[in-house]
Chains A and B, each alone.
Chain A
Amino acid sequence: MPHIALPEGLPGISAGFAFRPETAKPMRDLAHILLHEPNSLTPGERELIATYVSSQNDCFFCQASHGAAAACHVGSSEIVQQVKTDFESAPITPKLKALLAIAGKVQQDGKRVSAADIGEAKAHGATDIEIHDTVLIAAAFCMYNRYVDGLGTWQPRDEPMYVEMGKHLADQGYQQSSR
């Protein structure tokens, strides 16, 4: 049961958003820019970063919904699973692996990111904006994940629901509610 009286029937972050539309607006806008708007990183790559960080933070709702969005973009739920369990052996580019290494360090603590981590990403072609956005996606999911778990939101074990949600997110982005 949620820790506060959230609207019923809305899973995960949707309930927090419906409870407090004033904060929902900038949180939706931020996710939309980071994950959906045009970027030299594909939406699939950015959703994989969000899914990986949510998995490291053990947030069921966020890793299920963003994992589904990522699967929709990359056309494979297997790759999503591999990125969560062992991204170094996943069939993704060396650049994305270097960015995931940075994201994993940000998830623990921003100060863990080293000049060597950045050098590795740049050696594989990452731009400054891509590195910036990777750091901010990882940091932002340390917020979204804590928000979803910290309110004790309802996080149903309902795979078809996340598949549907993932399609909607992959198609429409984050500015409008998926329900």
Chain B
Amino acid sequence: MPHIALPEGLPGIRGAMAFRPETARPLNELVEVLLFGPHTLTQGERELIATYVSYLNDCHFCQSIHGAIAAAHLDGDEDLVKRVKSDFQRAAISDRLKALLVIAGKVQRGGKNVTAADAEHARSLGATDVEIHDTVLIAAAFCMYNRYVDGLGTIQPQDEAMYRERGKVVARHGYVEGSKDYLPAEAAAR
């Protein structure tokens, strides 16, 4: 049971966002820019970073939904998502993405763990400064979203089919558009 009276029937962050639409708007706008908007990193790559950090933070809802969104972007390759979570160095992803996941993992433990050598290594594999910036911010932002979802004691169903279906919707329409399903119209509008 959630720690406060969240609207029923909305799992994870959606219940929290419907409870407080004022904060839901910037929370959705931030994740929209970071994970869905135009970028030199693909949507799949950015969702993998979000999924990996949510896995390290042990947030069931966030790693399930972002894992499902990542898979939807990656032709349904759920095995790749699992591999990135358990051992990304041996996953079939680019060396550049591996270097960015190293940085994300360090941010998850604490920003000061990131070294100049980590950033230099990512750059030597072709990462741009914007990509490094966004990797740091995706990792930092999921340290927020994960704590928000767990800290309110939200409902986090064990229902893979639910995450798979919702993942397809978000992969297709994004976060701001997707929020119209559960927020009052004026709060979801940009």
Contacts and interface: CB of A to CB of B under 8 A. Distances in A.
Interface of A: 1, 3-5, 16, 19-20, 22-23, 25-27, 29-30, 33-34, 37, 57-59, 102, 105-107, 109-111, 113, 115, 118, 128-129, 131-133, 135-136, 138-140, 142-152
A37 B141 CA distance: 22
A140 B142 CA distance: 10
Nearest to A141: B144
B76 to A, nearest CB: 29
Given A150-B139, A152-B116, A29 B26 contact: yes
B119 A3 contact: yes
19 contacts: A5-B129, A16-B137, A19-B133, A22-B33, A26-B27, A29-B25, A105-B151, A110-B147, A110-B152, A111-B58, A111-B150, A118-B4, A128-B4, A128-B5, A131-B4, A132-B152, A139-B146, A142-B140, A147-B137
Given A5-B129, A26-B29, A30-B23, A142 B147 contact: yes
Contacts of B22: 33, 37
A146 B136 contact: yes
Interface in B62-101: none
A148 B19 CA distance: 29
Interface in B14-44: 16, 19-20, 22-23, 25-27, 29-30, 33-34, 37
B26 A33 contact: yes
Given A34-B23, A118-B3, A20 B144 contact: no
Contact of B148 (A57, A110, A115): A110
B130 interface: yes
Nearest to A126: B4
Contacts of B34: 23
Contacts of A110: 59, 146-152
A124 B151 CA distance: 19
A53 to B, nearest CB: 10
Given A30-B27, A132-B152, A109 B137 contact: no
B48 interface: no
Contacts of A102: 151
B129 A147 contact: no
B128 to A, nearest CB: 9
Contacts of A143: 140-141, 143-144
B153 interface: yes
B111 interface: yes
A6 to B, nearest CB: 9
